[in-house]
Structure formats: C-alpha cells, structure tokens
Amino acid sequence: MTTRHVKSANTLISEQANFQAIAKVIAMPKGYVDEWHKHPWHQVIFPFQGILQTKVVNTQFIVPNSGMLFIPANTEHESFVMTDTQFIGIYLNPEINNLFPLQTKAVSVSPFLRELLLQIKDSVTEKNTPISVVSALLTVLSDQIRAGECYDMALLLPSDRRLMSIFNALMDDPTLTTKLSDWAKQVGASERTLSRLFTKELGMSFPLWRQHLRLVSSLNLL
C-alpha cells in the first residue's frame, strides 16, 4: 500500500476510509501556492526539506524543517512554498484517532519526534504492519503533539507586490545588503511607504524582517 504517487490526499482518504492513517511524500517547488483547501482527516505537515508558510483561518505559521504543523480535520488552510520543499503529509482518521487535539498547533521537532514521524510514515505505507503497531505509534504521536513545545517564528511572506519583489530578491540571495531607500527606488515606492507596510503586514521593521529571513534561509541549508 504505497502513497508515493500523484493521487491527492483527499482521493487517498476516500479510497482508504477505513484505515487508521495514510501518509505521502509531497514535493513542491519554490513559489508554489497550495491554495485554500481542507481534508476530512487530521493532517500533520512535516517538511524534512524546505520551508512553508501556512495560513490556517486567520493565523499564519512558518513551518521549517525543524518543526511540524498539526491541522485538525475539516480546517481550511493554504500554504506558500518558500524554498523547494519536500514534506511528509500524515493524515489521521478522526473517527479512529480521537486523542488528537482540535486546535492547530506548530510543534518543535525533537530528534525523537522526527524519528517517530518517519516511523509512522513507513509503517502506514507498509502492507504488513500490524494494526496494533500503528495504533501504538499514533498514540505516542498524539502525546507528543499535546505535550510538544510550541515555537514562535516571525512571519516572512508579505502580500503587497512591492514587498514581494524584495522578498523574492532576498530569497534568491539572502546576503544582499541593499538599503530600504534603494529598494524603494527599485520597486516604485517611497521609503516611508515601505517602512509602514513592513510594520503593518509583518509587524516589524525592514532590518529585523531581513534578519529573520536570513535565519530561515540558514535553517534550510542546515
């Protein structure tokens, strides 16, 4: 029972409605937008390579390869792919897995949790894995999500087209030291306007935002 193919998660869920869980490895290129959608099962997003920014209702989360995001069943969400990304999507049948929380949660991935997620992915895609083994692994996962340490990472993706021009340039080369006044000339806005937009959209100054962007880029390299 492999889930490494082009079928969508919801198609797999409908085909395997009696399963405890399914998993698939998904590759998305930089700049791809996985537009608003939802799944009838809980979802765990674990990017073992790359970085996502995911919006869930009115909250946005950065999901680096040192974190994972738990999204409850039937919760609308949208993801922007900040770098070339591969992630494991684990989908959990809520009728069977009733120990999971009902709120979205971003959790720091410890070495133990990383190995657990990989083991779950392998177990649910292997035909001969006993149901009891999968059940035990999922119970541990629910405990890890409930007790796991949340992380707080600044948002990086703007919506204004002028800020997006700066974002794209810095994602291509995070070492750029271009001043905001020079960016203003390039994108056709005043420095004051750009400064106000950074504060309004991202809640921080341009230098601080650029610092966070560099940090996230370094996480991806690690």
* Mean residue pLDDT across the chain: 90
- Structural domain count of the chain: 2
Asked if 109 and 46 touch (Cβ cutoff 8 Å), the reply is yes
Domain boundaries, position 92: 9-147
Asked, for residue 77, whether it belongs to a domain, the answer is yes
Pick the last residue of a domain from 147, 179, 204.
147
Whether the per-residue pLDDT at 57 is higher than 90: the answer is no
196 and 124 in a single domain? The answer is no
The CATH code of the domain that includes 131 is 2.60.120.280
In this model, does residue 119 exceed pLDDT 80?
yes
Residues 5, 16, 105, CA angle at the centre, nearest 5°? Answer: 80
pLDDT of 150: 86
**pLDDT bucket at 60, cuts 50 / 70 / 90:** confident
Residues 49 and 124 in one domain: yes
Give the pLDDT confidence of 65-107 residue by residue, as tens digits.
889 999 999 999 999 998 889 999 999 999 998 899 999 999 9
Q: What is the pLDDT of residues 150-170, one digit of tens each?
A: 877 766 788 899 999 999 898
Residues 42, 143 share a domain: yes
Distance CA(146)–CA(149), nearest Å, equals 9
Does 118 share its domain with 166? Answer: no
Say whether both 74 and 128 belong to one domain.
Answer: yes
120 vs 125: CA distance, rounded Å: 8
What pTM value is reported for the model? 0.81
CATH number (domain holding residue 200): 1.10.10
Q: Is residue 4 in some structural domain? A: no
The amino acid sitting at 57 is V
Q: Determine, yes or no, domain membership for 154.
A: no
**Please, what sign has the CA dihedral across residues 182, 185, 189, 192?**
positive
Same domain, 113 and 61: yes
Q: Which is more confident, 164 or 221?
A: 164
Give yes or no for a contact between 40 and 5, defined as CB atoms under 8 angstroms apart.
no
- Domain termination residue (choose one: 122, 147, 172): 147
